[in-house]
């Protein structure tokens, strides 16, 4: 497969951009080789600058639940382009999007729009600290909540991929406000609350982890987090930047029947454009300026283009409830019958093929995966026209644009790899 133009662009990019990319995992450091530079997307496929096409299971890291360039989304963007691209002032669409989010996610009584998942989690934590008057946060090893200083402690996603334990540039005092515990261990959370419960402002968790690969919660785990935070007067924050609207219209909290105090959202609510949100209980969110003393602001928050895309996406999801059944069926077929030595984790349309025979339930078990073998698999699949995340520690995603033929082609390519030994 010819990728000469991608190679030229990557060499050129490294002279102007750190590592040649604007987000670290894109550099292919954990799998080696040159990342294909993408020219366009259509449906379930992306096309690189050399004209090669790939069945895309990254989907811009999750938000493209209807695939690339769905017509309803393009029409919404075309409409708003006729009115302007940014105002830094309130618009009617912002109100409509906030109302729609509240309608779909009942735990959210008030919501604030921001520009990225990182900004959403950073703001939610500030609100939790301000509301409770406490400083400490519990997070979980291998969970990634954006590049917030205090949360870059035993984080997943790119830090797991690159093998970075704790990033340089974060003051020790910031890191000291975070208690990092093993995911899926109720006992560890109980111990932390017994020892420091009166100082813990919040527990933040990906209800289904996507940033050390897809790792579901054990039965009763999320319920225990809900109970413990209520018992000790801390807030429970669900980071649904990845799972929100993907696992159900109401997100993972609908799927598992848990009501958090605060929720962070992103990805799908922008339909591929940069937007995110945080929201929750009205008594908590009423502490945010200008109503209360907790400050958070952003010139581009509620950007007309991103809001229009989000409205189109959520309205389309709400009008087509069978979407989730379709995604469930297709992803289940993709993940069925793994070969020996492979553990497949799947929740809804999120999945990961772990190159280990052991169950993967937390960061310790995830990192025992054979990353060398994954590297070989990744490049085999890429050469077969299948685009997976370039890391063992990232989730994959299926869209409604993925056809049965796409799934069959992917399964056959994977089987070819394992047959060769």
Contact criterion met (CB below 8 Å) for 26 and 13 = no
> Is residue 172 predicted with pLDDT exceeding 90?
no
**In CATH, what number is assigned to the domain containing residue 374?**
3.90.1150.10
The length of the chain is 421
What is the reported pLDDT for 382?
A: 98
Report the pLDDT averaged over residues 87-105.
97
- Same domain? 267 vs 254: yes
CA distances (Å), origin 62, targets 98, 201, 256, 274: 21, 29, 20, 13
**pLDDT one-digit tens code per residue, 225-252:** 999 999 999 999 999 999 999 999 999 9
Report the share of the chain in percent with pLDDT over 70.
95
Query: What CA–CA distance (Å, rounded) separates 222 from 140?
Result: 13
Residue 304, CB-side half-sphere exposure with 13 Å CA sphere: 16
**305-344 tens-digit pLDDT:** 999 999 999 999 999 999 999 999 999 999 999 999 999 9
Mean pLDDT on 409-416: 97
Structure token pair of residue 132 = 């409770």
Q: pLDDT-derived band of residue 20, with 50, 70 and 90 as boundaries?
A: very high
**Same domain assignment for residues 102 and 242:** yes
Percent of the chain that is helix, strand, coil (3-state, to 5): 40, 15, 40
| Mean pLDDT taken over the chain | 94
Residue 136 reports pLDDT greater than 80: yes
Look at residues 319, 349, 371 and tell me which one is the last residue of a structural domain.
319
Q: Is the pLDDT of residue 288 over 90?
A: yes
| Range in 41-50, 152-161, 194-203, 308-317 the model is least confident about | 152-161
Same-domain check for residues 57 and 82: no
Q: What is the mean pLDDT of residues 397-420?
A: 96
Say yes or no: 212 and 272 in one domain.
yes
d(CA 326, CA 323): 5
Helix intervals (H) in 336-370: 363-366
Q: Reduced to 3 states, what is the DSSP secondary structure of residue 113? A: strand
Distance of alpha carbon 20 from its chain centroid, rounded? 23
**Number of domains present in the structure of the chain:** 2
Q: Which domain holds residue 134?
A: 71-319
48 and 32 in a common domain: yes
Residues 145 and 267 in one domain: yes
Cα(330)–Cα(291) distance, integer angstroms: 46
**Residue 173: predicted pLDDT:** 77
Nearest by Cα to 285 from 237, 245, 249: 237
What pLDDT, on a 0 to 100 scale, did the predictor assign at position 197?
96
Whether the predicted pLDDT of 176 surpasses 50: yes
Q: 319, 352, 369: which is the final residue of a domain?
A: 319
What CATH number is attached to the domain comprising 106? 3.40.640.10
- Mean per-residue pLDDT, 213-230: 98
Give the pLDDT confidence score for residue 121 in this predicted structure: 96
Domain boundary among 298, 319, 340: 319
CA 254/CA 106 separation, integer angstroms: 9
Query: Using an 8 Å Cβ cutoff, are 113 and 84 in contact?
Result: no
pLDDT tops 50 at residue 413: yes
Tell me, yes or no, whether 294 and 335 share the same domain: no
222 in the same domain as 371:
no
pLDDT for the residue numbered 155 = 53
130 and 82, same structural domain? yes
Structure confidence at residue 201 as a pLDDT band (50, 70, 90): very high
Enzyme catalytic residues: 144, 239, 267
* 85 to 77, 89, 97: CA distances (angstroms): 10, 12, 17
At 117-131, the pLDDT tens digits run: 999 999 999 999 999
171-195 as b/e: b if 16+ CB within 10 A = eeeebebbbbbbbbbbebbeebbee
Q: Is the pLDDT of residue 157 over 60?
A: no
d(CA 5, CA 295): 46
> Which of the 8 DSSP states describes residue 375?
H
CA distances from 318 to 63, 166, 237, 271, 311 (A): 16, 40, 24, 14, 10
Model pLDDT, residue 162: 45
Same domain, 21 and 133: no
Q: Do 126 and 141 fall into the same domain?
A: yes
Following DSSP, what letter does each residue of 145-189 receive, concatenated? --S-GGG-BS--THHHHHT-SB-TT--HHHHTTEEEE-TT-HHHH
pLDDT-derived band at 161 (thresholds 50, 70, 90) equals very low
Structure tokens at 170: 């974060």
Are both 408 and 348 inside the same structural domain?
A: yes
pLDDT band, very low/low/confident/very high, at 166 (cuts 50, 70, 90) = low
DSSP letter for each residue of 200-221? EEEEEE-SSB-SSS-BPPPTTH
């Amino acid at each position: 497969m010819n990728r000469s133009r991608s190679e030229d662009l990557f060499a050129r990019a490294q002279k102007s951009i750190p590592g040649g990319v604007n987000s670290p995992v894109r550099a292919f450091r954990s799998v080696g080789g040159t990342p294909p530079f993408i020219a366009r997307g259509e449906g379930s496929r992306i096309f690189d600058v050399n004209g090669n096409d790939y069945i895309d299971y990254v989907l811009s890291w999750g938000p493209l639940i209807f695939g690339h360039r769905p017509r309803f989304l393009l029409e919404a963007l075309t409409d708003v382009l006729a009115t302007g691209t940014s105002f830094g002032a309130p618009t009617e669409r912002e109100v409509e999007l906030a109302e729609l989010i509240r309608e779909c996610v009942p735990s959210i009584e008030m919501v604030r729009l921001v520009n990225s998942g990182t900004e959403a989690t950073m703001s939610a934590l500030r609100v939790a600290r301000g509301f409770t008057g406490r400083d400490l946060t519990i997070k979980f090893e291998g969970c990634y909540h954006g590049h917030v200083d205090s949360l870059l402690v035993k984080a997943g996603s790119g830090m797991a991929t690159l093998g970075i334990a704790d990033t340089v540039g974060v003051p020790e005092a910031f890191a000291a406000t975070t208690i990092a515990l093993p995911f899926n261990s109720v006992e560890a959370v109980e111990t932390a609350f017994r020892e420091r419960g009166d100082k813990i402002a919040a527990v933040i968790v990906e209800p289904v982890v996507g940033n050390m690969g897809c790792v579901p919660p054990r039965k009763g785990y999320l319920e225990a987090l809900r109970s413990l935070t209520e018992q000790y007067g801390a807030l429970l924050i669900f980071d649904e930047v990845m799972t929100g609207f993907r696992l159900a219209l109401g997100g993972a909290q609908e799927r598992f029947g848990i009501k958090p105090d605060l929720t962070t959202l992103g990805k799908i609510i922008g339909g591929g454009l940069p937007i995110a949100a945080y929201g929750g209980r009205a008594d908590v969110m009423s502490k945010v300026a200008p109503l209360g003393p907790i400050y958070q602001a952003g010139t581009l928050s509620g950007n007309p283009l991103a809001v229009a895309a989000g409205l189109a996406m959520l309205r389309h999801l709400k009008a087509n409830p069978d979407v989730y059944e379709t995604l469930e069926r297709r992803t289940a077929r993709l993940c069925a019958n793994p070969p020996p030595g492979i553990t497949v984790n799947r929740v809804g349309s999120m999945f990961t093929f772990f190159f280990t025979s052991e169950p993967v339930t937390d960061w310790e078990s995830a990192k025992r995966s054979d990353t060398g073998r994954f590297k070989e698999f990744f490049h085999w699949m890429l050469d077969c026209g299948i685009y997976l995340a370039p890391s063992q520690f990232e989730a994959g995603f299926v869209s409604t644009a993925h056809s049965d033929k796409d799934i069959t082609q992917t399964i056959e390519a994977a089987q070819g790899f394992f047959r060769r030994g």
